[in-house]
Amino acid sequence: MTSPPRTVPAKCQECGTEFLTWKNSVDKGYGRFCGRSCAHQSRRVRVELACLLCGNVFSVWESRVKRGDTKYCSLSCKRIGVRAKRLVDKKGYVTIWSDDGRKVAEHRHIAEGVIGRKLIRSEHVHHKNENPSDNDPSNLVVLSRSEHISLHHKIMKWSKCHDACLSCGTTDIPHRGHGLCRSCGGSKYYREVTRSR
């Protein structure tokens, strides 16, 4: 069965071309566009915005504005704009973009500039005032891993949660775990192993 011929002349509301459509389509309110591409294009609305970085006016689809990903006019402006940001994590440490395009910790980047060389992976940067967001060069000290850990243990308590060993009360012997020093923790472990045999 063949469909009836298109007899009603119409003009596309999107591109302006003249075409023939069915009388039935016009009666139902259809037949306004010459094809699916023009009908789809008519639903897409462009919006004028100003770039956050350079200020140039550019147009984008309204759907992109609703998603919130249209702050910059071009990819180059977006890269510069994103790299200008200082990202702060939950612990307060700041991450920045380095000159070669890598994400780096700001305190390590500043410390490398002060000492004039790249930091070794085992080297830590200590904040004197214990504020991880304060990356002033006078507040940063480069230490080895062991020096950094021992410095924090001196600043803090004997361990993170305990002032002294729960069993013998010493602070001279290093903490092993669960509030016990190395000798008390070793004794407890030895007793548990011998009992299980």
- pLDDT grade, residue 54 (50/70/90)? confident
Going by C-beta distance under 8 Å and a sequence separation of 6 or more, which residues neighbour residue 13?
32, 33, 38, 42
Mean pLDDT rounded to a whole number for the chain: 81
Q: Contacts for 111-116 with beta carbons within 8 Å, 24 or more apart? A: 111/137, 111/140, 111/142, 113/137, 114/140, 115/142
pLDDT digits (tens, 9 = 90+) for 113-131: 889 899 998 999 999 888 8
Averaged pLDDT, 91-109: 81
The residues pairing with 11 across neighbouring beta strands, listed in sequence order, are: 18
pLDDT: which is higher, 82 or 26: 26
Domain ranges, ordered by start, for the chain: 8-43, 45-85, 86-156, 162-197
Q: How far is the first Cα of the chain from the last one, in angstroms, to the nearest whole number?
A: 89
Q: Report helix, strand or coil for 146.
A: helix
Mean pLDDT in residue range 7-13:
84
Q: Which DSSP category does 57 fall into?
A: E
What pLDDT is recorded for position 142?
A: 92
Highest mean pLDDT among 6-20, 27-41, 109-123, 174-188: 109-123
- pLDDT score recorded for residue 143: 92
Q: Are the C-beta atoms of residues 125 and 108 closer than 8 Å to each other?
A: yes
**pTM as predicted:** 0.43
Is beta strand 123-127 parallel, antiparallel or unpaired with respect to 103-105? Answer: unpaired
